[in-house]
Structure 1
Amino acid sequence: MKLLLTSAGVNNKSIHEALVDMLDKPIAESMALCIPTAMYGHPWVGPGEKAWEFIRGSSDNPMVSLGWKSVGVLELTALPSIDQDRWVPLVRETDVLLVSGGDALYLYHWMKESGLAELLPELNAVYVGMSAGSMVMAPKIGEFFVGWTPPNGEDKTLGLVDFAIFPHLDHEMLPGNTMAAAEKWAAGMQGPAYAIDDMTAIKVIDGAVEVVTEGHWKLL
């Protein structure tokens, strides 16, 4: 699986070009599935209007609105109640997964409960994460980002990459997301960690990591 781990979606030319490069066909010929699940675990973005804006492609974070051939919704909380034969073939056939922000631990919990977590490493699709949708790929998220608490009380996530992500660096609406805060957070992560702003993404193909940016970032 190819990963494009963004802070705020495909919101500049450099990140858009990286996505196009990762696909084996034009966006207009590619099928997408959007996953809004993380939003329901975060009080700022779900449930309600923000989740609907993400799904319909009218949010300020371009992902669903990029001109895909088709876009479907994959709601992870629903998957345990239906047969895998109903949704696994759909996921295997899709060209790209568009995974919203929200709460990373809530997303991880439902990725595990639904069975998607086991399926992800086998997929040929491009995985495009935004904020929590990117953070969930790390081994853990760190106490700074813990909101929804999973049953085991841990901050563990998928570990499909060996680094952690601190998104929304220096965001005007998140005064706590400073570089000083990121450095303090990184000191407890026991591994590489990237602090990235909303103009930055991390591209991962076969384990090779590349930062794509029109903003600022730091490897901590």
Structure 2
Amino acid sequence: MLLTSGGVTNPSIEAALVGLLGRPVSECDALCIPTAEWGHPYCNPQKAWQFVTGRPSNPMTGLGWKSVGLLELTALPTVERERWVPWVRDADVLLVDGGDALYLCHWMRESGLVDLLPELTDTVWVGMSAGSMVMTPQVGEDFIQWRPPSGDLSTLGLVDFSICPHMAVEEGAWGNTMADAEGWVAEIDGPAYAVDDQTAFVVVDGEVEVVSEGFWKQLQ
């Protein structure tokens, strides 16, 4: 897994991605997943289009992949499993957009994608914001915009730490402040990090490495 706050935003994160892939981006097939967008009130069709097309400068789909396809999880329950599972298995990388992590988590479960993950041993998961947070045990109340019908506020817990993304390191810049992060972490159980958009986590076989050209801090 490559769990980012803002995508593949600098050479260090891109080098980490290539290391996980084991070959150049130009030789790899990608599927992008915009599903988390639909659960967040600040997202809209224009933002989803920007992610899917890599515009204006979205650092995910526009990296020069051999091919890029779109996988919309909300559609998968209406599609025969025999059709969509090969699409996922044939991809080298899943590019997972931000938005609402609980909405994404819900549709990963409803679609059956979460059940397929253990089989994808050669597939790289590249998350951005909610696309990363969905892999953590919990996101915290500050990042919940949509609540699942089940009332279950847990996320997948495939890593053992939580993430406060989009830290604003310059005064007046867009993003979360340290005060925001400290308030957020008060209700988080277990390890937790605050990171800016120049930071990512590389997770391989349970080992975690922080790759950053910006700001990050372990809060607990």
Question: TM over 0.5, yes or no?
Answer: yes
* Residue equivalent to 1:68: 65
**Structure-2 separation of matches of 1:61 and 1:182:** 25
Name the stretch that deviates more: 120-129 or 62-71.
Answer: 120-129
How many residues align? The count is: 215
Letter of the 1:173 partner, please give it. W
**Structure-2 separation of matches of 1:154 and 1:144:** 16
* Residue equivalent to 1:113: 110
* Residue equivalent to 2:211: 212
**Structure-1 separation of matches of 2:56 and 2:130:** 16
Letter of the 2:174 partner, please give it. M
**Structure-1 separation of matches of 2:98 and 2:179:** 23
Name the stretch that deviates more: 32-41 or 52-61.
Answer: 52-61
Identity over the aligned pairs, expressed in percent? 63
Task: Map Cα deviations across residues 118-177 of structure 1 (whole Å, 9 max, x no partner).
Answer: 111221211000000000000111111110111122321111101111100127223xx1
* Residue equivalent to 2:84: 87
**Structure-2 separation of matches of 1:207 and 1:122:** 16
* Residue equivalent to 2:43: 45
- Quote the offset at 1:22 in angstroms: 0.7
The structure 2 residue matched to 1:58, chosen from 55, 60, 65, is 55
* Residue equivalent to 1:183: 182
TM-score (norm 2): 0.95
Letter of the 2:151 partner, please give it. G
Give the gaps of 5 or more residues in structure 2: none
CA RMSD of aligned residues (A): 1.1
**Structure-2 separation of matches of 1:190 and 1:43:** 27
Give the gaps of 5 or more residues in structure 1: none
CA contact (8 A) 1:33 1:98 kept: yes
Task: Map Cα deviations across residues 16-65 of structure 1 (whole Å, 9 max, x no partner).
Answer: 1110111122111100000000011112222x111111111114331000
CA contact (8 A) 1:50 1:59 kept: no
**Structure-1 separation of matches of 2:75 and 2:35:** 10
Aligned-partner SS, 1:165: strand
* Residue equivalent to 2:3: 5
Aligned-partner SS, 1:64: coil
Letter of the 2:26 partner, please give it. A
- The list of structure 1 runs, each at least 4 consecutive aligned residues, that deviate by more than 6 angstroms after superposition, is none
- Quote the offset at 1:185 in angstroms: 1.5
CA contact (8 A) 2:41 2:145 kept: no
CA contact (8 A) 2:135 2:158 kept: yes
